[in-house]
Chain A
């Protein structure tokens, strides 16, 4: 625990006395990068946050979107990187727990989970495999036990995450608009701590997360207990129905210090609490440890004295503890006591609003050393290259992962994991499509266009199901922000995301920033992750498998943009080249066109074209339909076969169509001035690409299927 000079000055100017030990602990937790966002907060304000569906209320930890018919959807995203790198099972599991409670705080029931996972190279790094397997097991153990389906996500491996892990979890909630908690408090209201007991686990967790990972501080990792979390969910929702809750907040990073100060600040009230009333797991916990413990499965609830017996009775039914730890005061102070003794007495807004920092930025030197293409030609045939790409852990099916997640519970999952985007049915008859996407390989070479690309990819995936994007969440993960070169990559990313969000009118309804993601070999690649929510009035386009003689239309232009592609990185072992760039007007018109094609029922299936390029996207469709394809690359682009097959250019969609609809589709696309081409048909049992008349790539579908479906599991079985 240490304060920087400007923070010491800020304390001196505002509090004209020496701080107590407890006050120092409280401030150190709350002013950590993790809780205060001191490096990023100013810049996050550039993101557009309003829109026709967005509902804004005081003190919400999750974004709230009106989806019509009196219903709302809530969404939030968080990461649990440091803990997962040390103890992957517990770190990942508690990451799930934390984000779920943010959804619950708004008074909505969590209905889905998504996770974005990143590890080192699992093919030759046994530690990366251990991290991967245990993080997946931790997420499965927690989400399955709660009965919240994990319906989507992504997994990526890159040696920049060696000995490290990024575990991002997003959750979506659903509920009646009328039942949203409208956070408020009256003087004399009771402040309750509901749920698990407070222990030594997770003490100082947010400070641990606000520094580079050096030791393996396992005591800073929280211990998961999904059973208690499940009881909390049911108890809180019952208390919500009985109108027992005036205000609510999850206990996450910074523990009680953070929850108390932020609640008091956002509601403009004071809170006086007695640490002696906090129910403990270890009786010898010091008051300071109680204030900064990040023990999981705890909620802070403000209720009226009149409703207290009712909420107490509900907690008794579920056998979870409910402690009255304090009261609401008028004085806007955070007052921590132990019996009659005052341990901390600070203005709540002083605690909650830590001093912000202006960080320096400068263009990273590594960018000037990037070359445009690999020097050596490889001797592999295109067919072998495609086989290699389909087996790449970044591209191969993640069936081994999502099979371990209960993705059916809640009986809302209409489009299951494994397709472009999963879709949930909602009680108002509409459907919700959600996807998260990241691409550190692109972001490393071009943080701005890489970030826009992740955003567009998530949108494309949602659009493939027929849904219109209505909101986004972002999770920005970088190395040490004190390094101007890293801060530059952060600024580029957020500016790119802002530009795309504003142009597409997609509001940002939530997000997180995670800095200090450093490994023993240096910082991670910039890893912004974007989650997009799409809404459709009716049922989604159910992905139907292509059959013999279905026609393939490629919407969008394939450009010479192999930089950061899986082809360059995995096949050539080359980091460099020109990264795909989103052209916003094209992005818009292609998206609009796909949505009208789907609503006019002119397409059987729409598949996004991204990692691995056209060759991989078409192979995935062939595997799905167990049918071959015959594509003429002359109709794709004028580039060499490499570019046409493996470039990861954005704004592209593969349309699977019946012959009879070709004319209407072409008319619509021409009318919208879209660039498109009829590139081939599905037929036979081989994936065939021809250049002019000569086949240059031939791969049997059953062979492709075996590689695509089983490669990840084969790697895992190596122990």
Chain B
């Protein structure tokens, strides 16, 4: 079982994600530079946070055209679990793997603070060990984290159960307080908050267990598959 962590120029949560996967959850993780291709034996892919290409043009839009994204798309089509966190989420929406866009926060400022997530879909590979409506204390850290879709798409997301996480409170002006969504098949998940910053007791003194369950869900998924 191996998790690929993709590194773009400007990614900056790649090492944090790697640490949590390998040192906290004993998963085999491997970095893949954006110009490389993904080997077939990868069981899950994570696009970490950061400022790929310095957020130039628009957050995530240049990275969405990186060579490795075509491999990510192929894997997504094969049902392999794919998670995008923060900038990773922005890249997934820019590449068309997830619906919607991420706009500047309502405050127009970068926001780094702890917030509570509510689990809205616990059938994805990253949430199957969480309970529906379970609270997850977790930090956000972004400037462009306001999720937006038009009404029609929003209705569709609701109908298809594609809203994975919502914020407990109004945080940044996201439509329906959406914090994370998945594709129609449920195997591609994107979220703005950082689970890798909340899954260890030392750095999350509120409660690190709910965020840990995001990683344990992945272990469960990959275990079942193998």
Chain A positions within 8 Å of B, measured between CB atoms, are 137, 140-141, 144-147, 225-227, 230-231, 317-319, 402-414, 425, 539, 542
Select A227's contact among B53, B194, B200, beta carbons within 8 Å: B53
B111 within 8 A of A: yes
Residues of chain B within 8 A of A227, CB atoms compared: 9-10, 51, 53-54, 56
Residues of chain B within 8 A of A414, CB atoms compared: 202-203
Residues of chain B within 8 A of A226, CB atoms compared: 51, 54
List 6 interface pairs A-B (beta carbons < 8 Å), by A numbering: A145-B55, A147-B50, A319-B9, A402-B112, A409-B12, A411-B16
A141 to B33, CA, bound (A): 24
Q: Is the CB of A410 within 8 A of B16?
A: yes
Q: Is the CB of B9 within 8 A of A408?
A: no
Residues of chain B within 8 A of A140, CB atoms compared: 109-110
Q: Is the CB of B51 within 8 A of A403?
A: no
**Assuming A409-B49, A411-B16, what are 8 further A-B pairs, CB within 8 angstroms?**
A144-B141, A227-B53, A230-B51, A319-B9, A407-B112, A408-B197, A409-B12, A411-B19
B185 within 8 A of A: no
Given A408-B139, A409-B13, A409-B16, A230 and B112 contact (CB-CB distance below 8 Å): no
Select A145's contact among B19, B33, B51, B205, beta carbons within 8 Å: B51
Given A140-B110, A144-B110, A147-B50, A230 and B141 contact (CB-CB distance below 8 Å): no
A2 to B51, CA, bound (A): 44
A137 to B143, CA, bound (A): 11
Which of B49, B109, B111, B194 neighbours the largest number of chain A CB atoms within 10 Å of its CB? B109
A407 to B10, CA, bound (A): 17
Q: Is the CB of B203 within 8 A of A425?
A: yes
Residues of chain A within 8 A of B109, CB atoms compared: 137, 140, 403-404
Count of B interface residues, CB-CB < 8 Å: 30
Residues of chain A within 8 A of B33, CB atoms compared: 317
Q: Is the CB of B19 within 8 A of A231?
A: no
A230 to B7, CA, bound (A): 13
B113 within 8 A of A: yes
What is the CB-to-nearest-CB distance from A540 to chain B, in angstroms, rounded to a whole number?
10
Nearest neighbor of A402 in chain B, beta-carbon distance:
B112
B94 within 8 A of A: no
0/1 interface trace, chain B 76-120, chain A, CB 8 Å (1 if under): 000000000000000000000000000000000111110000000
Residues of chain B within 8 A of A539, CB atoms compared: 202
Residues of chain B within 8 A of A406, CB atoms compared: 110, 112, 141
Which of A402, A404, A407, A411 neighbours the largest number of chain B CB atoms within 10 Å of its CB? A411
Residues of chain B within 8 A of A225, CB atoms compared: 54
A667 to B203, CA, bound (A): 34
Nearest neighbor of B11 in chain A, beta-carbon distance:
A147
What is the CB-to-nearest-CB distance from B194 to chain A, in angstroms, rounded to a whole number?
7
Select A409's contact among B54, B56, B141, B205, beta carbons within 8 Å: B141
Given A145-B51, A317-B33, A425-B203, A403 and B111 contact (CB-CB distance below 8 Å): yes
Residues of chain B within 8 A of A146, CB atoms compared: 12
B216 within 8 A of A: no
A670 to B7, CA, bound (A): 57
Nearest neighbor of B48 in chain A, beta-carbon distance:
A147
A408 to B49, CA, bound (A): 12
Residues of chain B within 8 A of A137, CB atoms compared: 109
Residues of chain B within 8 A of A317, CB atoms compared: 33
Nearest neighbor of A539 in chain B, beta-carbon distance:
B202
0/1 interface trace, chain B 43-63, chain A, CB 8 Å (1 if under): 000000111011110000000
A227 to B110, CA, bound (A): 17
A412 to B194, CA, bound (A): 14
Q: Is the CB of A231 within 8 A of B9?
A: yes
What is the CB-to-nearest-CB distance from B75 to chain A, in angstroms, rounded to a whole number?
24
8 A Cβ contacts from B24-75 to A: 33, 49-51, 53-56
Q: Is the CB of B54 within 8 A of A230?
A: yes
Q: Is the CB of A411 within 8 A of B200?
A: yes
Q: Is the CB of B203 within 8 A of A144?
A: no
Nearest neighbor of A146 in chain B, beta-carbon distance:
B12
Residues of chain B within 8 A of A145, CB atoms compared: 10, 12, 51, 54-55
What is the CB-to-nearest-CB distance from B167 to chain A, in angstroms, rounded to a whole number?
16
Residues of chain B within 8 A of A402, CB atoms compared: 112
